[in-house]
Amino acid sequence: MFTGIVEELGEVEAIEVLPAAARITIGCRTVLGDVTHGASIAVNGVCLTVTDFAADGDRPGVRMDVMQETLDRSSLGTLRPGDPVNLERPVRLADRLGGHLVQGHVDGVGTVLDRVPDEHWEVVRISLPGGLDRYVVEKGSITVDGVSLTVVDVEAGDGPGTTGTFTVSLIPTTLHATTLGTRAVGEPVNLEVDVVAKYVEKLTVAHAVAAPAHLAALAHPAAAADGGPVEHRPGAVHRPAVGHLSGPGFAPEGISA
């Protein structure tokens, strides 16, 4: 788990093409402070595993294997030697959550559509792959190439599967300390929406699907208990069972025995 606060700009030193994979060597220093074999590091927002590293010497850095699935679903497949990359180590439970909860699992690849510079910041518009706009809200959080950003505004697509857009404002620190300062119009960026939104959607959809069956069980407890069919009649009003206690002289309140 990460927080979207870039610790260091690394540089791609080498890329070895493998069958259905790639091996990337990245020059860096800060994230090597407590690195171990098997540790996780976010590279442009993608959680990767350290397979080798050199913390000392003239060329410190890390080596990571990237599977074809990751190359296909992120912008890492477009990297070339010399490219800068955003690096972040996993957040500790005792650390401050400077950005927001970031998994390092890319939801889609957007494209930089427009950059409007201002005196103290720059407004950038980015495309949203079809279906992601429902998870993005004004003043909510989104991760762009591993950088936690606040959404300025969002425009949904014209229909299902169509591309929406959103804008973010980049302060000088973000422009200078991350790759977003040099992302040109037309270049791809990794996007990860707020994971909380995805969980909320799944829970509400599951609840909506389960609700009719739950209400039917309340209306016909005997049939539900026996596993028999429950009849639904348009316009019928069903009262949920008050209780299962019975016997001489006993009845729910307000009902004669």
Q: Domains in the chain and their CATH numbers?
A: 8-88 (2.40.30.20), 108-193 (2.40.30.20)
For the chain, the maximum distance between any two Cα atoms, rounded to a whole number of angstroms, is 91
Residue 211 is predicted with a pLDDT of 59
pLDDT value, residue 127: 96
H-helix or E-strand spanning residue 189: strand 188-193
pLDDT of amino acid 163: 82
Q: Name beta bridge partners: 111.
A: 188
- The CA angle 10-8-109, to the nearest 5 degrees, is 70
Given a cut of 70, the residues of the chain with pLDDT beneath it are 160-161, 206-207, 209-257
The predicted structure's pLDDT at residue 57: 77
